Structures are given as structure tokens and as C-alpha cells.
A and B are shown apart, each in its own frame.
Chain A
Amino acid sequence: GDSVTQMEGPVTLSEEAFLTINCTYTATGYPSLFWYVQYPGEGLQLLLKATKADDKGSNKGFEATYRKETTSFHLEKGSVQVSDSAVYFCALSGGTNAGKSTFGDGTTLTVKP
């Protein structure tokens, strides 16, 4: 079945540092890839997505590029802010198990002023 592997956390950065959270996936077919963010006490919300190879999703300064050759979808941001502190989830849908989305384990990011 499908699977998503994220880099282990937690990640602690200083404000304005560069962020990378690695994500790789296993799926057959041509899944769509997503990053979701979860702020404390809230549900998951979509951060960005990419639906085919070489697509770049971007939102709020975050970017991720769908790399089919390396089956990766790494999340990056050039300069993080304290308000970016949250849990980040990589996910896919439309792969082997087309009817559901499969999530990575989540990476907790803490940004210190």
C-alpha cells in the first residue's frame, strides 16, 4: 500500500532560518501530494499541494516540488517566523489506495525568536 515518510522531528530553528522538512513517498500510479499544517488545538489545514511531476506548490512562503524520480516532496521556506511553529504533515492521495489520503508521521517545528 501507500506510505509517506517524513524526517523525524522535532525541529527547532531560530527566526529567519532556512527550513527543510524532507518527505518521501511510496505509491503506484500518479498520486497527488500535499503538505498540511496543524496549529496547536486545531485541525489540519492545507498548506500547499502538487498534482503532477515537477509541479511546485507554494503558499505563505513555503514551497515543495513534486519529484517523481526521487519520489520526494520536500517542504522548504527561506526564512521562518515564530508564527510558523506548528506540526507539518506530508500526505498523498490517489495512489494505490485511491479512496483515502495517507499521512506521514508529522514533524513538529518550533521557531524561537
Chain B
Amino acid sequence: EPEVTQTPSHQVTQMGQEVILRCVPISNHLYFYWYRQILGQKVEFLVSFYNNEISEKSEIFDDQFSVERPDGSNFTLKIRSTKLEDSAMYFCASREGQTYNSPLHFGNGTRLTVT
């Protein structure tokens, strides 16, 4: 079964550094998302992306965050200047179509640790 893949599985960075989290969504999916999860519990929406542009973003997704689909397969999340509170699990997800009946398919996540 096709799956969403994320790299790296764990990223450690110093405060103020830039990080790029990478995702390869399922190939025929059209809608892409980033979520984050702090302390293994609450799953928070960051951003949705469709047709090469952001379709919705949350308050968390401020100017320090950006997303890109540079080559038609990868989908990246960049944090320009990391803060301690950015430490979390970051999940990429994709959805096949526009109907909201279809579920999200999640990757296994990248654990970001900011020191």
C-alpha cells in the first residue's frame, strides 16, 4: 500500500537555526498538510496546500514557517529560526481528493528537538 514518507525521523537543532522537514506524499494525492503534535497528544493543524499554494494556515503558522513543493514529489516545511517551543513531532499528511470523506494519510513523523 502506498504510504507517506518523511525524513529525517529525528532532527536536533540549536535555537535560531533553520530546519527543513521533508515529506513525499502519496503520488496521486492532491492535498497536502502539515500537523504537529506536542507531548504525544494534541494534533495541531499547521497548513494545507493545494495546487502549489497554501489553501489554509493556522495561527501557529507564522512568518517563520513556509512550505514548498519544489519538484512535484517532495513537500517541505521550513522553519527559518527555530525556537524552543517548536520542539514537537511534525506530521505530513496527504489526501486523495477534494471530498472530505477521504481520510488523511499520515507519515511517521519527524521529531524536532530544539536545544
Contact = CB atoms under 8 A, between A and B. Distances in A.
Interface of A: 31-32, 34, 36, 41-46, 49, 51, 87, 89, 91, 93-94, 97-103, 105-106
Contacts of B4: 43
A29 to B, nearest CB: 10
Q: Which of under 10, 10 to 19, 20 to 34, or 35 or more describes the interface residues of B?
A: 20 to 34
A91 B101 CA distance: 12
Point out which of A36, A43, A101 has the most chain B C-beta atoms below 10 A from its C-beta. A43
Given A49-B103, A102-B45, 15 more contacts: A32-B100, A41-B108, A42-B108, A43-B4, A43-B106, A43-B108, A43-B109, A44-B104, A91-B43, A94-B101, A97-B56, A99-B56, A100-B56, A103-B42, A103-B45
20 contacts: A34-B103, A36-B104, A36-B106, A41-B108, A42-B109, A43-B4, A43-B106, A43-B108, A44-B91, A44-B93, A45-B106, A49-B103, A93-B100, A93-B104, A94-B100, A98-B100, A100-B48, A102-B45, A103-B42, A106-B40
The 4 closest A-B pairs by CB, nearest first: A94-B100, A43-B106, A93-B100, A103-B43
A46 B103 contact: yes
Contacts of A36: 103-104, 106
Interface of B: 4, 33, 35, 40-43, 45, 48, 55-56, 91, 93, 99-101, 103-109
Contacts, number: 60
Contacts of B91: 43-44
A51 B41 contact: no
Point out which of A31, A46, A101 has the most chain B C-beta atoms below 10 A from its C-beta. A101
A10 B104 CA distance: 25
A56 B27 CA distance: 30
Contacts of B99: 94
